[in-house]
Amino acid sequence: MFIKYCTSCLNTSTRPRISFNSKGVCNACTWSKVKKNIDWDYKKKILKKLIKKQKNFDCIVPVSGGKDSSYVAYQVKNILGLNPLCITIRPGLEYDLGKENLLNFLSYGYNHILVTPDVNVMKHYDKIGLIKYGRPLLGWQIAVQASIFKLAVQFRIPLVFFGEEGETEYGGSTKLINKFFYNVNDSIKLYLSGSNPRKLSNYFSSKQLYWFTFPSVKEIKMNNLKVTHWSSFENWDSYKHYLFSKKELGLKDSNNRLIGTYNNFAQTDTYLYDLHVYLMYLKYGFGRCTQDVGIDIRRGALSRNQAVDLVKKYDGEKPEIYFEKYYDYFKLNKNQFFVVLKKFANKNIFKIKNKSFIPKFSVK
């Protein structure tokens, strides 16, 4: 398989839903230039017209305690003057750093609900995700989407602010590029890659699946629910969010760089994310470092040549120090776990030798 690389960043042609222009520039890089010329003040005016203050909470902001969601919650509360209800959906195999950062954020004064979905259901969906799709975070990803929709309806809160629209920002579908809101179908198709939770398992009762089930279309319409992304109203800059959250909201870094990349401050929720990006590398030939250098190239902090060196050094780094945690979480032995990795390793771009995955491609 021939892998085509973006001529501006290092996004690959194997990335799902990505597109390139005639000059070989990916849609994420194209968007990064387009948005510099957007009238964001006008977008903020549109946002203010959408806001209707409620008796209790004005909106929901999903938060993890990480740089981006903390920044969004601050903006909603302190700049827009709204009363947000912050909600965290607890993942499996949490990092201690992630839990500490969430508590640090909450110490600055936010109303908050921590949802801990049934761990057996979460593990079940995560295992289905791992074995069937190579997506070990699928259960949590479903719960994050479905639970937020459900809580908004339950509490009659008409507005939800997620962070960035990732397809637009990082290279994927352009369906939502000029849209302020998205619906359940978009959630399933784009953010769950078509994995409809209703069709994944009949193993549990509807009560057990409460946090993994979207509200009905009728319920959403009755509550006039609007679900949006903060990146629809402000030029999204995750590094700015990092600096802000570190200074103003108690965000802490890891003492070491994170596995598969060169930074020490992004995606510190769960050990399962390390497996998620490793499997991404095996499936598509790009990993965590490729994503991170793309962000830094687009904000002008890295040259493409520097990025190539970093990707060659760190992309596809195996999270082997966490393998014992994975064996226990998924109830798989060492050999069974390797069989899963082997299943998803793209044979067109990797050769397997002595249980190692050796790339046939060269980053360029």
Residue-level pLDDT at 8: 98
Q: 276 and 317 share a domain?
A: yes
Listed residues 216, 232, 248: the one ending a domain: 232
In a domain, residue 332? The reply is yes
The pLDDT tens digits of the residues spanning 164-204 come to 999 999 999 999 998 999 988 888 888 887 777 777 777 88
In a domain, residue 8? The reply is no
Listed residues 181, 214, 232: the one ending a domain: 232
What average pLDDT does this structure show over 21-35? Answer: 97
The single-letter code of the amino acid at 250 is G
Instruction: Say if residue 293's pLDDT is above 90.
Output: yes
The pLDDT tens digits of the residues spanning 207-259 come to 999 999 999 999 999 989 999 999 999 999 999 999 999 999 999 999 999 99
Q: 96 and 132 share a domain?
A: yes
Confidence of residue 156 (pLDDT cuts 50, 70, 90): very high
What's the domain range around 300?
259-359
Q: 159 and 301 share a domain?
A: no
Q: 42 and 91 share a domain?
A: yes
Q: 289 and 215 share a domain?
A: no
Instruction: Say if residue 79's pLDDT is above 90.
Output: yes
Confidence of residue 28 (pLDDT cuts 50, 70, 90): very high
Residue-level pLDDT at 59: 96
In a domain, residue 247? The reply is no
Which residues, including other chains, have CB under 8 Å from residue 310's CB and lie 6 or more apart? 262, 289, 293, 302
Q: Are 136 and 276 in contact (CB under 8 A)?
A: yes
Confidence of residue 266 (pLDDT cuts 50, 70, 90): very high
Q: 56 and 154 share a domain?
A: yes
Q: 94 and 141 share a domain?
A: yes
Residue-level pLDDT at 52: 85
Q: Are 229 and 165 in contact (CB under 8 A)?
A: yes
Residue-level pLDDT at 332: 98
Q: 290 and 212 share a domain?
A: no
- The total number of structural domains that make up the chain: 2
In a domain, residue 350? The reply is yes
What average pLDDT does this structure show over 275-300? Answer: 97
Listed residues 215, 232, 249: the one ending a domain: 232
Residue-level pLDDT at 333: 98
Instruction: Say if residue 205's pLDDT is above 90.
Output: no
Q: 221 and 321 share a domain?
A: no
Strands 356-359 and 350-353, by their bridges, are antiparallel
Measured CA to CA, the distance from residue 213 to residue 254 in angstroms comes to: 34
Residue-level pLDDT at 112: 98
Q: 263 and 208 share a domain?
A: no
Q: What is the CATH number of the domain that holds 104?
A: 3.40.50
Measured CA to CA, the distance from residue 219 to residue 244 in angstroms comes to: 37
The percent of residues above 70 in pLDDT, for the chain, comes to: 100
Q: 110 and 51 share a domain?
A: yes
Residue-level pLDDT at 2: 80
What average pLDDT does this structure show over 256-276? Answer: 96
Q: Average pLDDT of the chain? A: 95
Confidence of residue 75 (pLDDT cuts 50, 70, 90): very high
Instruction: Say if residue 116's pLDDT is above 80.
Output: yes
In a domain, residue 43? The reply is yes
In a domain, residue 294? The reply is yes
Q: C-alpha distances in angstroms, 168 versus 19, 150, 229, 232, 275?
A: 11, 25, 11, 10, 24
In a domain, residue 349? The reply is yes
Around Cβ 155, how many Cβ atoms within 10 Å? 16
Q: 158 and 91 share a domain?
A: yes
Confidence of residue 206 (pLDDT cuts 50, 70, 90): confident
The percent of residues above 90 in pLDDT, for the chain, comes to: 90
Measured CA to CA, the distance from residue 200 to residue 352 in angstroms comes to: 30
Confidence of residue 50 (pLDDT cuts 50, 70, 90): confident
In a domain, residue 27? The reply is no
Residue-level pLDDT at 125: 93
